[in-house]
């Protein structure tokens, strides 16, 4: 495990949260015009390898989108996902390159809108009750604020790419219960984080399906491979901190990519 054995200073941990129902398979054209949108889980943060020209967006050659494009002989690939993005950023900064010719769009978004980076920080550094309160606040935002933001974002994507199949990839549960080398990261905290991930999953799934998009649930794929497992596909507290609580290379290749392929072929 690549954990920092002491979590003092983990206040800058960047995280996202997690996610419901696999959807019917999409017929995949021989050559796609593909666009990848979203936040750090879409850009590939956690892999420790990024394209030089991507700057703070941290787009990785090991991200699920890049792996899919590389293996499917796409006609064009627009990689606009960016670390730290919220729904408003997608609408403002990531829709360039989408058009009536775009045939496939993927997106992972919503975790930053509900503040799950702060949740992870509070759960790592605080008490069980403090963690519970932080997760509850995130869940409230997911239920009461996120739906309208997702609806607006999905509508903007549909307008920009009217003929595209759109796949919304959810977030995995972040942690496993049981023995763990992270000080003070109790089972109660880890369970509460996973509970919050499930709430987020339900909201994203519902709004994606309401928009006529395909929701691709990643939670089962990552089962047994969260933080504190014996075979982690998600980084624990890491150095640099931005890598923390994001999928590692295996997480994107063995978790996200097969889920995406299960709905696109």
pLDDT in tens, the chain (265 residues): 444 333 334 434 433 333 333 344 454 445 899 999 999 999 999 999 999 999 999 999 999 999 999 999 999 999 999 999 999 999 999 999 999 999 999 999 999 999 989 999 999 999 999 999 999 999 999 999 999 999 999 999 999 999 999 999 999 999 999 999 999 999 999 999 999 999 999 999 999 999 999 999 999 999 999 999 999 999 999 999 999 999 999 999 999 999 999 999 7
Is 246 in the active site?
Answer: yes
**Is residue 72 annotated as a catalytic residue, yes or no?**
no
Residue ranges with strand state E in the chain: 33-38, 76-79, 104-108, 165-169, 214-216
Please tell me the predicted confidence (pLDDT) of residue 2: 40
| Domain boundaries, given as residue ranges, for the chain | 16-264
Please state the φ and ψ torsions of residue 35, each to the nearest 5 degrees: -130, 130
Q: What is the model's pLDDT at position 185?
A: 97
Q: Do residues 91 and 161 lie in contact, with contact meaning Cβ atoms separated by under 8 Å?
A: no
CA distances from 55 to 39, 49, 183, 200 (A): 14, 12, 33, 28
Query: Top-level CATH class of 16-264?
Result: alpha beta
Residues 6+ apart with CB under 8 A from 19: 170, 171, 172, 197, 198, 200, 201, 204, 205, 217, 218, 219
User: Which of the residues 3, 72, 225, 246 is marked catalytic?
Assistant: 246
Instruction: Please report the pLDDT score of residue 28 as a whole number.
Output: 46
pLDDT at 30: 52
What pLDDT is recorded for position 29? 45
Q: Which position among 3, 18, 40, 83 bears the catalytic label?
A: 40
């Amino acid at each position: 495990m690549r954990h920092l054995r002491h979590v003092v200073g983990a206040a800058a941990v960047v995280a996202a949260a997690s996610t419901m129902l696999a959807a019917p398979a999409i017929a995949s054209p021989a050559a796609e015009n593909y666009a990848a949108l979203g936040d750090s889980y879409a850009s590939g943060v956690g892999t420790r390898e990024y394209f030089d020209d991507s700057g703070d967006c941290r787009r990785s050659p090991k991200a699920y989108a890049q792996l899919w494009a590389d293996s499917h002989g796409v006609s064009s690939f627009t990689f606009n996902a960016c670390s730290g993005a919220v729904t408003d950023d997608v609408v403002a900064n990531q829709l360039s390159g989408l058009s009536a010719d775009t045939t496939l769009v993927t997106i992972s978004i919503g975790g930053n809108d509900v503040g799950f980076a702060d949740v992870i920080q509070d759960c790592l550094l605080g008490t069980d009750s403090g963690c519970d309160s932080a997760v509850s606040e995130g869940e409230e935002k997911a239920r009461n604020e996120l739906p309208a933001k997702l609806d607006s974002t999905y509508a903007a994507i549909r307008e920009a790419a009217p003929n595209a199949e759109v796949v919304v990839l959810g977030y995995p549960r972040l942690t496993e219960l049981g023995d763990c080398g992270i000080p003070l990261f109790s089972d109660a905290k880890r369970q509460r984080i996973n509970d919050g991930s499930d709430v987020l999953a339900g909201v994203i799934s519902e709004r994606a399906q309401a928009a006529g998009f395909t929701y691709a649930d990643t939670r089962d794929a990552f089962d047994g491979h969260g933080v504190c497992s014996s075979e982690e596909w998600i980084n624990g507290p890491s150095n640099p901190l931005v890598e923390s609580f994001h999928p590692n290379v295996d997480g994107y290749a063995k978790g996200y990519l097969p889920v995406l392929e299960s709905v696109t072929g």
